[in-house]
Structures are given as structure tokens and as C-alpha cells.
Amino acid sequence: MSEGDEGAAATPPAPRSGGCLCGAVRFTLRGALSAPVACHCVQCRRQSGHFWASGNVAKADLELHDPEAQLRWYQASAKVRRGFCARCGSFLFWEPLARGWTSVAMGAIDGATGLRLQRHIFVAEQGDYYDLGDGLPQNPR
């Protein structure tokens, strides 16, 4: 596709940008972000303080801007690592090592995302202090 093709059906969404609370870690999403899901697993709840909503982007389309090298990766299991800002603690990324995509925190994205939550996952591990009344599908795992 060349310049001037804007508006064609296959045109990807305009790049989205985002970052952590302190601004040290910034990112640009060069490709499409999947419809977000909310994860209620114990790990996401502990790391975020509640449940965690994220969308997936191809690793090749996630452009990091981290001039002070504040992004840290916590190896949460043999197959998954979790990215956060060492300065402000923002939980930004969830990444399965053997897959070609990264989950990006919806709360880290600048401005309007143009997306809607699609489903809840790991509701078998959700906290006892809230209810889900939005009518979206719920996966136990």
C-alpha cells in the first residue's frame, strides 16, 4: 500500500500511543489491537490491584520508547512475563514468551481507544468484593 491509500478498507487503525503513569515508558501500537478482555486471575489482581483489561498487539507492531530503561519484566511463570515501569509501578504488558503477541493494558492507552470490552476471563478467581453486571460473556479460566 502506498501513501494516498487512506480510507481503503484494509487500512489499519491509526497508531495508538500510551505509557506508564510517570511517562518514562511510552509505546506506539503500529498495528491493530484486539478487542479487550478483562482478566480476573489472582496474578492480574495482585499486580494491578483489581482486575486487568488488555488487548493484544503483534509483537512486531509494539514500538517501545524507553530512553531511561525503566521497563522491567517480571517472569511470572515459565511461559509468561509481565512488564511494568520500575519508577512508577504501572503494569503495562503481559507477554507469553512463545507467542507472537503482547497484551497491552487498556488503561495505559492515551485518550479514546475506540474499543469495547469483549469478555471476562478467569472469573473462577475473581474477588468476592465485586459483581459483574455488564452482561458480557464470562470464562471460568
List residues binding Zn ion (CB under 5 A). Answer: 20, 22, 24, 39, 41, 44, 85, 87-88
Residue closer to Zn ion (CB basis): 20 or 123: 20
CB of 40 to Zn ion, least distance (A): 7
CB of 70 to Zn ion, least distance (A): 6
The amino acid at 69:
A
DSSP code of residue 67: T
CB of 105 to Zn ion, least distance (A): 12
CB of 129 to Zn ion, least distance (A): 17
Residue closer to Zn ion (CB basis): 11 or 77: 77
Residue closer to Zn ion (CB basis): 41 or 115: 41
Three-state secondary-structure class, residue 37: strand
Question: Of 83, 86, 84, whose CA–CA distance to 68 is shortest?
Answer: 86
Three-state secondary-structure class, residue 120: strand
Question: Of 39, 32, 38, 59, whose CA–CA distance to 114 is shortest?
Answer: 32
